[in-house]
Amino acid sequence: MDQLPQLIGAGLLLIGYALFQTNRIKGDSVPYLLLNLLGAMLLAYDAIRAMQWGFIILECAWCVFTLPNLYRALVRKPAA
């Protein structure tokens, strides 16, 4: 069970990527960005617990880069 956050995080990232690659969701959509953010947060948490600095940097950067796009997607006004 120690690897549960890692497995869920990887699963969320892969689900988002698969949905994007099969044109089921857009790369700037809220669902895609949420899957990316939540997956990266779980993987960052697991990396922090294991003190794996390379993965800490990678996953924290993934979160930081996703947040502005998620904010824009959430405040975007629907097309008239």
How far is residue 72's CA from residue 46's CA, in Å, rounded to a whole number? 28
Cβ neighbour number for residue 78 with a 10 Å cutoff: 4
Q: Per-residue confidence of the chain (80 residues) as pLDDT tens digits?
A: 788 999 999 999 999 999 999 999 999 999 999 999 999 999 999 999 999 999 999 999 999 999 999 999 999 876 65
Largest CA distance in the chain: 49
Polymer length of the chain: 80
- The ranges assigned to domains in the chain are 4-75
* Rounded Cα–Cα distance for residues 23 and 7 (Å): 24
> pTM of this prediction?
0.88
